[in-house]
Chain A
Amino acid sequence: MLLVARKNLLAEKTRLAISIGGIALSVFLIAILLSLFRGWSERVGSFVEDVPADLWVASEGTTDFTAAASIVPSSLGLRLELIPESDVVAPLIVRPMEMSHLGGDPDDTFDVHFVGYSPEIGLGGPLEVTEGKSPPGPGEMIVDEQMHRRFDVDIGDRLVRGTKSLTVVGYSKGGDFVYTQVGHVTIDTAVDFLELDPPSQRTFFLMTLNDPSERESVARRMEIVLPGVEFITGESFAAETRDRILGQILPILIVVLIVAFIVGLAVAGLTIYTATIKKSREYGILKAEGFTNPYLYRVVFEQSMVTGVLGFLIGAGITVFVGPVAQAQVPQFVVFVRWQDIIGIAGATLLMALIAAYITVRRLTSIDPVSVFKG
């Protein structure tokens, strides 16, 4: 590093701290928001993605799991089993709802993504039961462990909706959608609890195929054979589910990310620019002494880069440290720090530093060395 660049940086520690702090804050904001988005993205789609179904079968117009407005007859299952490529067919009844503790404040409700599945088939059931009984019996429910943590739903508790109640008999993993969690019951319990009329209606059918690579072609063919029924691949269904939830957040996130970038750029640019203005006489002296413009550009560039790198390291470090701590305190604060994002943020910081240096370099060019002879 050039002597002048290093000495100028260290000579004004407060300015350096402000500059680094501004970039670090910007990096932290960008990193934590991205990590939060990644965390949500990971969590929200994971249940649908991890259910080992090749095809989700729903009524026409259904796009994703959470909206779950699909209604299909149970007889559809028999027709699906007749498809030559079909291996396993499993019905699901899915309904988002609010529940509360029996005997507790009826207004103290929480969201449950109620899933009725067939324990005999297993497909669509809890991904991993971590504690308690599985499968659930009549009138029993296995809840996601995040529901247990966030809403104090314990094994043995009775959860109520209207006049009906269910007993919690176990905890499962992988059913957290951040804003809601999955609660699994048997199909029969679901029919009874929801008082379905007719009781033969189902929300989805899940299918596995003998050859999963045929899922696209089977889906296209069956949509022609069975009009009014959608065949959606697991990946597509998971992606649509993510988009449904995160699509609302993404535009806001992009705006906040841009604002964070501008804040970092403004702080770095202004501090480096004002430092250069303050030192413009000294840059004039260097010019008079025969130092070329590229040398002076390098001084500013190095100052900007060092500020940027230190700001990035501090900002990224805070993110890595604060993320898990915040997550432990607030379960909804689901962060997933991806190294690809960190590299991207490093690139954004580099860009920030480059723009800050460029703005300043333009000012350097206009410094007239003759001015140092005036007074």
Chain B
Amino acid sequence: MTQSPSSKADAPEPAQERQTILRLDGVSKIYRSGEFEVKAIDDVTFHVRGGEIVAVMGPSGSGKTTLLTIAGALLTPTVGRVEVCGIDVSGMSESQLAGIRRNKVGFVYQSSNLLEALTALENVRIVSQNHADDKQAAGERAKDVLEMFGLGHRMNALPKNMSDGEKQRVAIARALAKDPELLLADEPTANLDAKRGHEVMELLRQKAMELNKAVVVVSHDNRIRQFADRVVWLEDGRLSDDETHSV
């Protein structure tokens, strides 16, 4: 069993130290098909604190996305316990999980995954307003976040009229607009060239630090390492903190 990545998180925290936002303890995800059984995630223990950026790296098929979706309350583990902001989500119903995703988790996807019929502002606003009680304030916040990402002049642009870099910035703005505690990014630079990828990661790191978000970035892109506070390695569903691996 791989325990070492959690060792930092398990260390006694000073009172002023940042709170643990994501906690996976002994998590396994097993897919069964007839007599066959595949362990996508195998006994993973993994903690992330607020303001911390953790890169989960590993080869294709290692279980990175499965880990991310379990952390993001999209999948429930077969075994183990998952806590988001101190709430045990392991045994929650589908609607309860949706509530956790709505209120606590922001996603940045490999492709921007913007809604094609909606403008940049509407893409951000629809997510922020779904989360908020005060719809007007959420709408204003959507504008502010887009301004913060330098997209004030592109608010009314449709995704089809935006560059890949702009779309990914809108996607990050959307993830942050609902002010989640946990930000999960799946290969956020995969569809971007090196320069755009660097810009996006730098922006993600900067805003996550400013806003004190716990960030997990899943990638097999070695360039991600430089933006992470911590890098963990996932292979065959098992986690280690060996940073000497390269993809």
Contacts and interface: CB of A to CB of B under 8 A. Distances in A.
* Most chain A beta carbons < 10 A, residue from B65, B101, B117, B118: B117
B75 A370 contact: yes
B118 A4 contact: yes
B184 to A, nearest CB: 10
B95 interface: yes
Interface stretch (B125-133, B196-204, B219-227, B233-241): B125-133
Interface in A282-316: 282, 285-293, 295
B110 interface: yes
A373 interface: yes
Size range of the interface on A?
20 to 34
B98 A11 contact: no
A198 interface: no
Contacts of B94: 293
Contacts of B102: 289-291
Interface residues of B, number: 30
A244 interface: no
Contacts of A288: 72, 74, 101, 107
* Most chain A beta carbons < 10 A, residue from B65, B68, B118: B118
Given A11-B117, A290-B103, A374-B65, 4 more contacts: A4-B117, A285-B115, A289-B127, A290-B105
A13 to B, nearest CB: 11
B99 interface: yes
Contacts of A8: 117
Contacts of A291: 98, 102, 130
A3 interface: yes
Nearest to A283: B115
Contacts of A3: 118, 122, 126
15 contacts: A3-B122, A3-B126, A7-B118, A8-B117, A10-B117, A281-B113, A288-B101, A288-B107, A289-B127, A289-B130, A291-B130, A295-B130, A370-B74, A372-B113, A375-B111
A3 B186 CA distance: 27
A287 B95 CA distance: 10
A290 B98 contact: yes
A370 B122 contact: no
A136 interface: no
Contacts of B134: none
